Amino acid sequence: MSTFFSMSGSSPPAVAQRGILRAAVPSQKRGKTMTRRSGQSGTVVKKGRMWHGRFYADVAGQAERKHMSVPLGLVKELTKSEARRKLQAMLQDLGINTAAHLEQAVHGMTFRKQAEWWKENRLSLMKESTQHVMTGYLNKYLLPRFAALPVADIDGKRAQEFITELVRAPLAPKTIQTVVGTLKLVIGKKAWRDWDVAMPRQERKEQRFFTPEEMGRIIEAGLGKWKVIFTLLAGTGIRGGECGGLHVEDVNLTANTITIRRGSWHGRETTPKTEAAYRVINFDGGVADVLRQHIAGRTGGQLFTTQVGTLVTTDLIRKKLQATLRRLGIPKGGAHAFRHGRVSVLRAHGVPDDLVKEWVGHSSLKMTSRYTHFQDAFKQQAVNGLVISPRVPKPVTSNLSFYEAN
């Protein structure tokens, strides 16, 4: 893919070339300027039994400053000079006379500053995988485009121009939606709720899923722990990251269940993907036999590890799976193809939808439906089994046609 941003020079290009996103330029409006302003020291006045300090404060987005009055202390406890020194210290703490204060008042919070706050206070609370992805979007797409722009200036028009340039870059529609979603999270709903933007349409593609026959061949070709991992993926529909985070104690060979309590990401244990991902999954006797042989009496520890004792990662599962598929001549598919295949098998065999959703850890049946794929043979078998096939009505014997009778 071509380079998306040109980082050379301090000034953004006037025209966006194909494959390059230009930086947004803040609106040039006449307004407040520090060149016309000298520092203020404020005024101390007596109000009843209190000293009050008066000064002017800049208000973001307004040309006129606001007249402020703050209590400084009791007259009987402070002299006027002491009250004046206290006011000076207060103005210094507020940064009233600094250029930075004026810049903030004129332009408001810039996107760069807002992004720094968001990363520290919001993004840091999200899952590691989410932090990794969104930080990448910030650095590659959003900051080069919006860094110097006040958040208040990021309106629907600028967002639409940004989306259009991402399309021309080109970027996949799904990626564009995620980038724009990250932008919305950074600036907050209040800033984007009135946007009316058009997003690129996503082409509908059939998600790869393994058929029961393919899953059987993959399992048969697996060696050592990989036979067990492929069996577990096919027989339970768990995610690759969940497989890597399993402990021996998560497997109940008496009840034939497995409990998902954690996942894994880049070789580290993490919490499951969503709240719905915390779940108990039932498995059949064939899966139980394979797991029992693999556990071999162990009572704790990781269920699967590499030769050096580290967690089995999703990348490692994918690489081993791809090598197996090539050897068998099976079309390419990722570990998620097991998950799609499992959902399809369960629903084809009439397992209640809510139970399927619970076992695979989906938050909605709508998502479960996206994982459901029926083979052509099953569709034909289903329609052949219908007993309510339409009947062709018999012709009515009459010497008169309809028109002659009327």
Number of domains in the chain: 3
Is 334 within a domain?
A: yes
The lowest-confidence range among 39-48, 140-149, 159-168, 308-317 is: 39-48
Answer yes or no: do 172 and 232 share one domain: no
The last residue of a domain, from among 91, 107, 123: 107
Structure tokens at 80: 């006027």
pLDDT at residue 57 greater than cutoff 80: no
pLDDT at residue 106 greater than cutoff 60: no
Please give the share of the chain, as a percent, with pLDDT higher than 70. Answer: 81
Cβ–Cβ < 8 Å for 204, 264: no
The last residue of a domain, from among 84, 107, 130: 107
pLDDT at residue 21 greater than cutoff 80: no
CB count in 10 Å sphere of residue 303 = 23
Is 266 within a domain?
A: yes
pLDDT tens profile 216-256: 999 999 999 999 999 999 999 999 999 999 999 999 999 99
**Strand 43-47 versus strand 50-57 pairing type:** antiparallel
Please tell me the predicted confidence (pLDDT) of residue 56. 82
Give the domain extent around 270: 212-377
* Residue 170 CB partners (closer than 8 Å, separation 6+): none
Using pLDDT thresholds of 50, 70 and 90, give the confidence band for residue 209: very high
Return the residue matching tokens 């008496």.
254
pLDDT at residue 202 greater than cutoff 60: yes
Higher pLDDT, 381 or 306: 306
Alpha-helical segments (H) within 69-110: 80-94, 99-107
Using pLDDT thresholds of 50, 70 and 90, give the confidence band for residue 13: very low
Answer yes or no: do 115 and 100 share one domain: no
pLDDT tens profile 317-330: 999 999 999 999 99
Please tell me the predicted confidence (pLDDT) of residue 396. 45
pLDDT tens profile 68-90: 888 898 999 999 999 999 998 88
Answer yes or no: do 271 and 352 share one domain: yes
Is 90 within a domain?
A: yes
Answer yes or no: do 155 and 269 share one domain: no
CATH code at position 177: 1.10.150
CATH code at position 236: 1.10.443.10
Please tell me the predicted confidence (pLDDT) of residue 399. 43
Answer yes or no: do 178 and 224 share one domain: no
pLDDT at residue 188 greater than cutoff 70: yes
Is 103 within a domain?
A: yes
Largest CA distance in the chain: 122
Q: Cα dist. 404→331, 398, 399 in Å?
A: 65, 11, 9
Answer yes or no: do 364 and 220 share one domain: yes
Answer yes or no: do 226 and 243 share one domain: yes
Answer yes or no: do 307 and 162 share one domain: no
Please give the share of the chain, as a percent, with pLDDT higher than 90. Answer: 65
* Residue 47 CB partners (closer than 8 Å, separation 6+): none
Answer yes or no: do 137 and 270 share one domain: no
Using pLDDT thresholds of 50, 70 and 90, give the confidence band for residue 307: very high
pTM recorded for the entire structure: 0.66
Q: What is the dihedral of CA 176, 316, 209, 365, to 10 degrees?
A: -60
**50 — phi, psi (to 5°)?**
-125, 145
Is 319 within a domain?
A: yes
Is 199 within a domain?
A: no
Answer yes or no: do 126 and 244 share one domain: no
Is 127 within a domain?
A: yes
Answer yes or no: do 48 and 81 share one domain: yes
pLDDT at residue 337 greater than cutoff 70: yes
Q: Helix-strand-coil percent breakdown of the chain, rounded to 5?
A: 50, 10, 40
The last residue of a domain, from among 107, 127, 151: 107
Return the residue matching tokens 């794929």.
373
Q: Which long-range contacts (CB under 8 A, 24 or more apart) does 4-12 make?
A: 4/140, 4/141, 4/144, 4/169, 4/171, 5/140, 5/141, 5/144, 5/145, 7/144
The mean pLDDT of 269-276, rounded to a whole number, is 92
The lowest-confidence range among 58-67, 106-115, 307-316, 324-333 is: 58-67
Please tell me the predicted confidence (pLDDT) of residue 101. 62
Answer yes or no: do 94 and 161 share one domain: no
Using pLDDT thresholds of 50, 70 and 90, give the confidence band for residue 31: very low
Is 1 within a domain?
A: no
